[in-house]
Amino acid sequence: MNKMIISVLAKDRPGIIASVTSDLCDLGCNLENVNQMILQNQFAGFFIVQAPEGVSAETIRQELTLKEEANGLTIHVRSLEGDTQMPVEEKEIFLITTSGPDQKGLVAQLSDVISSFGANIVNLKAVFMGGSNPNENVMSYQVPVTKEIDAPALFAALKEKAKKLDLDIRIQHKNIFDVTNKI
């Protein structure tokens, strides 16, 4: 196995994904997963690749940096060797959405509650436009809940924290969310 994760940060513009994936192909890497997002005007991309045997993460980083230096990309490469696969656990995914007035520490305080129950956030989107219009300040967490986690206690703690922060909170099982949003 010669699996690596590559993160790319840059000011957003057309062609970043095309350029990086072309470079990776030239280096003999096979893409396994790609995820990218735009936050305001900043691009963040994550690429998991299978690199050719014997090629180090440092070699990939140096080659990519040389090819992309003029484009203003910040590149980080890390080998995934030694990272073990997470055991497959039976879990149910919940979507936790909050809205309310903007203030410092919202993500920190809610994510602290989630982690205190041993739950992991697998996806988080937060948009803060400032001010008190709840429609302009929304956070959405995707949290798998395993049978080891006391889900009712977690949800009660989240509701209590949201109340203290003057946030509206909605907690839905992902399956219910998917069905209600198909209409």
In whole angstroms, what is the distance from residue 16 CA to residue 20 CA? Answer: 6
| Residue 37 Cα distances to 7, 60, 140, angstroms | 12, 22, 15
What is the pLDDT averaged over residues 60-84? 90
Q: Looking at residue 178, what is its pLDDT?
A: 80
The confidence score (pLDDT) of residue 65 equals 93
Rg (CA), the chain: 20
pLDDT reading at 85 higher than 90: no
Mean pLDDT, the chain, as a whole number? 91
Q: Does domain 91-181 have CATH number 3.30.70.260?
A: yes
* CATH 3.30.70.260 corresponds to the domain 3-79: yes
Provide the percentage of residues in the chain whose pLDDT is more than 90: 77
Would you list the domain boundaries of the chain? Answer: 3-79, 91-181
pLDDT of 86 above 80: no
Contacts for 67-72 with beta carbons within 8 Å, 24 or more apart?
A: 67/19, 67/23, 67/26, 68/8, 68/19, 68/20, 68/23, 71/10, 71/16, 71/19, 72/10, 72/11
pLDDT tens across 21-42, in order?
A: 999 999 999 999 999 999 989 9
Question: Is this structure's pTM higher than 0.85?
Answer: no
